[in-house]
């Protein structure tokens, strides 16, 4: 196997799930002798092997203007239709240039024909595939029918055509069983299930000098218990349950630390959490300004750490999400051998729990039994090590790069007709 893979999305930047998983795919494909090129509206990769088209970014003003006129209503103006098609035609021309200049053999569509945050790009990709017959893999992270905000819309025709499209040389990939079934039901197309993965075959390196002072830098005392909530501050993360857990643990040494900010989804939920923590007398800390994609110094000369620098210092991780497409933070906690509490969200219950992890579980609310289990894990070092080592071994088997490597070999064989090697 060898060739050139063209990754396409609206954005390959930051630490969102799509960008991270695409990078993992690229790393494994490189082991299979496939070189990667990148097409998106926002890209933070090295300048070589990329094509940045600003109009392909979901936050581009033209796309924002279109989204304001197609969501939350059931009829669209003819001018809006023309604008969608005009932008799609332009983006299609850039896809032709990308495929030609980078000598692309296979396209890898990363959520670009899955969630309709950029409708013209999805239309452009669909038309490009129909006109060229280029082999392609569509990696679907979250479909429009999984999001309430897309339920009322003025583009059912375009959603049916392009999100996702049907094409004889297009192979579909989903990250959980429910999506696999729903795609078959709604679109009549099969999909391979490839879970999100981490490189469990290569454990993380030990804490180095740069990251050795994380606890002190975020204001923790040596005997404090560091409870990490490694997610953005959005309602579906269920962070109020983490506050309840710390409250029920009943010891001021337990500190709840949230690694990310609320971002562009507003600050009402964050403000509610602050009020809830104040009433519960829980020490809640936000360290988003000290966590970045790369190590650096901030404007005040303070260290900025990566999330990988933070995890090894945590005594426990809370992951009480109400809904997740998969659950990257769960895999990260297991990778860094930190025990984790999980709210039994549907994808976890169906796709992850049966694998045999030993994890404290809650079903929508924190019980005294859960609190006692968390306290035992934190206080009993030997018990904690047994759990984390067991979970790491399970993760190697089901969520390591070897799983992805086998699946990608099969996918490439399916779309190209070339034998596996």
Per-residue DSSP letters for 242-303?
Answer: HHHHHHHHT-TTEEEEE-S--GGG-SHHHHHHHHHHHHHT-EEEE-GGGB-SS-EE-TTS-E
For position 420, what pLDDT does the model report?
A: 56
Query: Binning pLDDT at 50, 70 and 90, where does residue 132 land?
Result: very high
Q: Which residues 6+ apart lie within 8 Å of 359 measured at CB?
A: 339, 340, 341, 342, 387, 391
| φ and ψ at residue 57, rounded to 5 degrees | -80, 135
- Rounded CA-CA distance 346/322 in Å is 8
Query: Binning pLDDT at 50, 70 and 90, where does residue 141 land?
Result: very high
Q: Are strands 106-110 and 50-52 parallel, antiparallel or unpaired?
A: unpaired
| φ and ψ at residue 337, rounded to 5 degrees | 55, 45
* Helix pair angle (239-249, 368-379), 10° resolution: 70
Percent of residues, the chain, with pLDDT higher than 90: 89
Dihedral angle computed from the Cα positions of residues 149, 155, 160 and 165, in that order, rounded to the nearest 10 degrees? -90
Number of continuous H segments (helices) and E segments (strands) in the chain: 15, 15
For position 57, what pLDDT does the model report?
A: 97
Containing H/E element for 67? helix 61-70
Averaged pLDDT, 91-115:
97
For position 418, what pLDDT does the model report?
A: 66
What is this structure's pTM? Answer: 0.89
For position 370, what pLDDT does the model report?
A: 97
Digit-coded pLDDT (tens) for 362-414: 999 999 999 999 999 999 999 999 999 999 999 999 999 999 999 999 999 98
- Rounded CA-CA distance 290/302 in Å is 8
Q: Which domains does the chain have, with CATH numbers?
A: 3-197+401-416 (3.40.50.2000), 214-399 (3.40.50.2000)
Mean pLDDT, the chain, rounded, equals 94
Q: CA 168, 172, 178: angle at the middle one, nearest 5? A: 135
């Amino acid at each position: 196997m060898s060739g050139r893979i063209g990754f396409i999305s609206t954005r390959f930047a930051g630490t969102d799930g799509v960008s991270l998983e695409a990078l993992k795919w690229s790393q494994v494909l490189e082991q299979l002798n496939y070189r990667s090129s990148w097409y998106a509206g926002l890209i933070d990769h090295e300048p070589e092997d990329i094509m940045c088209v600003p109009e392909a970014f979901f936050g581009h003003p033209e796309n924002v203007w279109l989204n304001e006129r197609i969501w939350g209503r059931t009829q669209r103006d003819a001018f809006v239709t023309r604008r969608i098609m005009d932008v799609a035609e332009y983006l299609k021309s850039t896809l032709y240039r990308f495929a030609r200049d980078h000598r692309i053999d296979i396209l890898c569509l990363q959520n670009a024909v899955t969630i309709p945050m950029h409708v013209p790009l999805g239309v452009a990709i669909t038309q490009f595939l129909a006109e060229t017959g280029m082999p392609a893999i569509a990696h679907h992270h979250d479909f429009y029918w999984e999001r309430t905000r897309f339920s009322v819309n003025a583009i059912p025709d375009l959603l049916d055509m392009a999100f996702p499209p049907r094409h004889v040389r297009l192979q579909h990939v989903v990250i959980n069983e429910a999506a696999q079934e729903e795609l078959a039901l709604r679109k009549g197309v099969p999909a391979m299930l490839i879970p999100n993965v981490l490189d469990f075959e290569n454990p993380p390196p030990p804490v180095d000098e740069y990251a050795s002072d994380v606890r002190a830098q975020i204001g923790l005392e040596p005997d404090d218990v560091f409870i990490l909530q490694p997610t953005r501050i959005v309602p579906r993360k269920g962070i109020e349950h983490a506050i309840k857990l710390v409250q029920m643990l009943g010891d001021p040494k337990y500190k709840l630390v949230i690694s990310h900010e609320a971002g562009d989804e507003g600050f009402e939920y964050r403000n509610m959490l602050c009020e809830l923590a104040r009433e519960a007398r829980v020490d809640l800390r936000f360290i988003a300004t000290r966590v970045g994609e790369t190590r650096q110094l901030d404007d005040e000369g303070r260290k900025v750490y990566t999330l990988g620098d933070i995890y090894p210092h945590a005594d426990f991780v809370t992951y009480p999400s109400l809904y997740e497409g998969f659950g990257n933070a769960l895999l990260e906690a297991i990778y860094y051998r930190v025990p984790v509490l999980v709210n039994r969200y549907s994808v976890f219950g169906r796709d992850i729990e049966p694998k045999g992890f030993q994890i404290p579980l809650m079903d929508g609310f924190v019980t005294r039994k859960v609190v006692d289990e968390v306290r035992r894990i934190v206080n009993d070092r030997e018990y904690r090590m047994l759990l984390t080592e067991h979970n790491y071994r399970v993760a190697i088997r089901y969520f390591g790069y070897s799983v992805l490597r086998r699946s990608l070999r099969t996918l490439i064989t399916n779309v190209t007709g070339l034998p596996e090697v």
